[in-house]
Amino acid sequence: MPATPPTKFFTTYRGWQWIKHQILSEYITRWARMVGSFAPKIHIVDTFAGAGHYDGPGGDKVEGSPIIEARACQVYNSQFSGQSRTMDLFCIEADHENFRKLGEALTPFGGIVKTRDGDYFTHIPEVLQVIKADPTLILFDPIGLKPITANRCRPLLARAGKTDVFVVVDFQIIHRTAGQMLPNGDPNPAHKTASALIANLDGFFNTTDWRPIAVSSKFTTGEKERLYLDLYFRHVLGMRYRFQCAYPVRGRVGAPPQYWIVNASNSVRALWLMNDCLASVDPKLMQKTVTAPNQLTGFVDAFVEAYQIDVEREFEGAMIAVLQKADGALSFGKVSEALLAQFFGRVHESTYARVAKRLVKNGRLRRQQRAAAKLDQAEILSLPTV
């Protein structure tokens, strides 16, 4: 386990529908190539798989997470056929009717997928036997928070082997529960459901520290949710996962988060994978958000391009500011680390080196080894002397 506290990152903007599937699709493909490069067998475990499809606009069937995951496994196995590299999927669904539909939806994928009916917690022994110590991506996407209390998740979160976690967290139930609490955070006896709800949330966070936040009037809803995430990072994910990030899924630009996607791993490469996935889907989903009827041709593309230019301009200024704060000199790796929290998911990893080189070319920065094509993490960047 890492000796230093986990590093946490938050994105603070964007607002699009169905972003979970966009991100998941991007992430699984890149994740599989990363961990598959050193492990012959890799796995995905979807603990709340659902029916496989859900109803989209106009009654169309939209592919859900299990189909995205199964297809990714199919493509991966096809690409590495004959190389003894495989990826498979273990899906669990508690609702019996959804499980029936899930089985039908996943039939075309054959032996790539295992499906189990019932509470995921009862199937954990079998899951652990299947995945052993192989690299595994574990997904928790429940309805509400009760099914993913810390003690129920712990056997999978603390398993042996490389583990990456993808959790969907909806804090609406906490906001509603706050209305059933006394000012000191205890259940209000006037509400029959208060005690049970509060106990469930104590179990979810693995602490009662969320209660003073919930009843406080000094925090906005957004501030409360970030404090809740910090509690979740510390008391549930803990030191097992050095890199933990949270992404707010919104219905539209500027709207409050509908839910959060939490990603955790003990690999900085996995963190950068998630960062680049967010940065890749960003323009596509922004186009979906700002598109309106009778819009002028090219307006959306111009809007997205202007946004990206503004972000890079902001990024340039932030890079200069980091060096100014560090008395004018710092390694490229330290500069990147200082910028990551602010720009997580907003720019690709490659942007860090590209912007630094551009600033060097424009005379606003100096490189220790200017002639080198690659900007090494240990290379010193400095501000030009007057």
Longest CA pairwise span in the chain (Å): 72
Give the domain-ending residue among 267, 289, 311: 289
- Residue, of 57 and 234, whose pLDDT is higher: 234
pLDDT of residue 57 exceeding 70, the answer is: no
Least confident of 130-144, 242-256, 269-283: 242-256
**Count: domains in the chain:** 2
238 lies in the same domain as 322: no
Whether 180 is covered by a domain: the verdict is yes
- First-to-last alpha carbon distance for the chain, in angstroms, is 45
Whether 294 is covered by a domain: the verdict is no
**Cα separation, 52 vs 41, whole angstroms:** 24
Whether 98 is covered by a domain: the verdict is yes
Whether 1 is covered by a domain: the verdict is no
Confidence of residue 293 (pLDDT cuts 50, 70, 90): low
281 lies in the same domain as 317: no
Residues 162-170 have a mean pLDDT of 95
CATH (domain of 374): 1.10.10.10
Which residue range forms the structural domain that includes residue 248? 7-289
57 lies in the same domain as 199: yes
In this prediction, residue 297 carries a pLDDT of: 64
Per the CB < 8 A criterion, the answer to whether 282 and 345 are in contact is: yes
228 lies in the same domain as 356: no
Percent of the chain with pLDDT over 70: 92
Give the domain-ending residue among 289, 307, 339: 289
Whether 260 is covered by a domain: the verdict is yes
Q: pLDDT tens digit string along 363-386? A: 999 998 766 788 999 999 999 986
Residues 210-236 have a mean pLDDT of 96
In this prediction, residue 2 carries a pLDDT of: 38
354 Cβ contact list (under 8 Å, min separation 6): none
In this prediction, residue 205 carries a pLDDT of: 97
Least confident of 5-19, 68-82, 332-346, 365-379: 5-19
Using the structure block, give the residue that is written with the tokens 């309106």: 292
Confidence of residue 134 (pLDDT cuts 50, 70, 90): very high
pTM: 0.88
Three-state DSSP at 142 gives coil
pLDDT of residue 51 exceeding 80, the answer is: yes
276 lies in the same domain as 310: no
217 lies in the same domain as 150: yes
CATH (domain of 235): 3.40.50.150
In this prediction, residue 178 carries a pLDDT of: 96
What average pLDDT is seen over the chain?
A: 90
188 lies in the same domain as 308: no
DSSP for residue 270: H
Residues 144-164 have a mean pLDDT of 95
Q: pLDDT tens digit string along 246-271? A: 888 877 666 788 899 999 999 989 99
Per the CB < 8 A criterion, the answer to whether 206 and 301 are in contact is: no
76 Cβ contact list (under 8 Å, min separation 6): 29, 32, 36, 85, 86, 87
pLDDT of residue 80 exceeding 80, the answer is: yes
Highest mean pLDDT among 8-22, 122-136, 269-283, 340-354: 122-136
pLDDT of residue 296 exceeding 90, the answer is: no
253 lies in the same domain as 378: no
281 lies in the same domain as 331: no
Q: pLDDT tens digit string along 87-113? A: 999 999 999 999 999 999 999 999 999
Whether 274 is covered by a domain: the verdict is yes
196 lies in the same domain as 99: yes
Give the domain-ending residue among 242, 258, 289: 289
pLDDT of residue 86 exceeding 70, the answer is: yes
pLDDT of residue 3 exceeding 60, the answer is: no
Q: pLDDT tens digit string along 298-349? A: 777 787 888 889 999 999 999 999 999 999 999 999 999 999 888 988 899 9
280 lies in the same domain as 304: no
Whether 51 is covered by a domain: the verdict is yes
pLDDT of residue 5 exceeding 90, the answer is: no
Whether 2 is covered by a domain: the verdict is no
pLDDT of residue 290 exceeding 80, the answer is: no
- Among candidates 152, 135, 134, which has minimal Cα distance to 47? 152
Three-state DSSP at 368 gives coil
160 lies in the same domain as 54: yes
In this prediction, residue 1 carries a pLDDT of: 34
